[in-house]
Amino acid sequence: MPRTPALRSLASEKALPYWLILPTIAYVAVFFLVPVVQALLLAFRTQDGQWTTRFLVRMVQDIQFVSALRFTLLLLAIIVPLQLVTALFIALLVNTRFRGSRTFLYICAIPLGISDLAAGLIWFSLFTQHGYINSFLYGLGIIERPIFFLSAQNTGWVLGSIVLAEHWRATAIVLVILVAGLQMISRDYLEAAEVFGARSWQRLWHVTLPLLKPSLQSALIIRTILALQMFAVVVAMGGRMVPVLAGEAYYWYYLYRNTNVASAYALLLMVISALLAWGYLRFLRPREVRP
């Protein structure tokens, strides 16, 4: 190809990409590093600059702390595996490319655009005292009086309702990541496996799932970290009946105007997020796929 002046200038634009990514790097540096440092200072330093663990102690000794930690981890342990299985099932279903599968995929992805607060309110309209589920059960003649799904006496029901709402709302994120991953798997591998006589479940277990592992890992990390921040769904459905860590961070500022303890909660959540992400990256490392 003849090297015209214009082409030469394209080749000599060595510095340009760095200029183009600079704003993003600068923005991330300011809006991530500044608050993280600030959070450390708020959580571990008093007004007059003394280092202290007072706020940490105050957080841990708070009556809501242990139950918030317990409920957060419990919800995480129930919701994440449930969503992973559901999303994987739907993704594999979509991947069979039956007629109408595109439409089906988009319908399943709808909740991705719905805010957690709106989702909480939607499910509140189902589970509340005179809500749809009670009306429906009454219509079928199963109950006479409404069941109080969302009351402090029935933490189990509240928890179950939150799990359903979160499952409805956030499975789509996992689904989209997995579908994107499945689309990148070359059909050649599956055809080769078929030629060698692998049954469909063998192809799934020995070919598709190992190749999907990076996407599964991403989906797990993203979903786990989002589940740790679970807040508006819980508040919309149960107020503070089922306390969660992000909710406590919010209340410590919103009700008590205590940025120190609120920051301690925020830091705790960041540390748990980082640990879990590290764990997933370390222990779910995709193995080399040997030919």
Partner 1 sequence: MTFRQLQRRFLLYMVVVVIALWVLVPLALIALAAFTPRLELYQWPRPVLPSGFSTATMSFFLRSYGTLTSLRNSALVALLTLGMTLAVGAPAGYAVARYVFRGREAFRIGILMTRMFPTSLLAIPLIVTFIRWQLYDTLIGVAFIHTAMALPFAVLITSGIFSGVPKELEEAAMTLGCSRLGAFVRVALPLALPGLAAAAMFTFVISWNEVFASAILTVRNRTLPAQVLTSLEVAPLDFRFAGGFFMIIPALIFMALARRYLFQMWGGAISER
- Which range, of 49-57, 61-69, 171-179, 201-209, touches partner 1 by CB under 8 A? 171-179
Site for partner 1 in 24-43 (CB under 8 A): 24-25, 27-28, 31-32, 34-36, 38-39, 41-42
Among 66, 139, 152, 202, binds partner 1 (CB under 8 A): 139
Q: Does 115 bind partner 1 (CB under 8 A)?
A: yes
* Residue 170 CB contacts under 8 Å (≥ 6 apart), including other chains: 79, 83, 111, 223, 226, 227
Do 252 and 262 touch, CB atoms closer than 8 A? yes
CB of 273 to partner 1, least distance (A): 5
Among 65, 68, 76, 181, binds partner 1 (CB under 8 A): 181
DSSP state of 142: S
Q: Does 123 bind partner 1 (CB under 8 A)?
A: yes
CB of 196 to partner 1, least distance (A): 21
Find the DSSP H helices in the chain: 5-11, 16-28, 34-44, 54-61, 65-95, 101-109, 116-127, 132-139, 155-184, 187-195, 200-203, 209-228, 232-238, 245-254, 259-283
Q: Does 132 bind partner 1 (CB under 8 A)?
A: yes
Site for partner 1 in 54-113 (CB under 8 A): 90, 93, 96, 98, 100, 104, 106-113
Site for partner 1 in 199-258 (CB under 8 A): 211, 213-215, 217-218, 221-222, 225-226, 228-229, 231-232, 235-236, 239, 246, 249-250, 253-254
Place of tokens 């997933």: 280
Interior angle at CA 243, CA 238 and CA 249, nearest 5: 120
Q: Does 275 bind partner 1 (CB under 8 A)?
A: no
> If we measure between CA atoms, which residue out of 216, 207, 213 comes closest to residue 291?
207
Do 67 and 141 touch, CB atoms closer than 8 A? no
Q: Which two tokens stand for residue 61?
A: 């000794």
**C-beta closer to partner 1: residue 18 or 196:** 18
Q: Does 279 bind partner 1 (CB under 8 A)?
A: no
Site for partner 1 in 6-25 (CB under 8 A): 6-7, 9-10, 13-14, 16-21, 23-25
Site for partner 1 in 144-163 (CB under 8 A): 145-146
Distance of alpha carbon 195 from alpha carbon 187, whole angstroms: 12
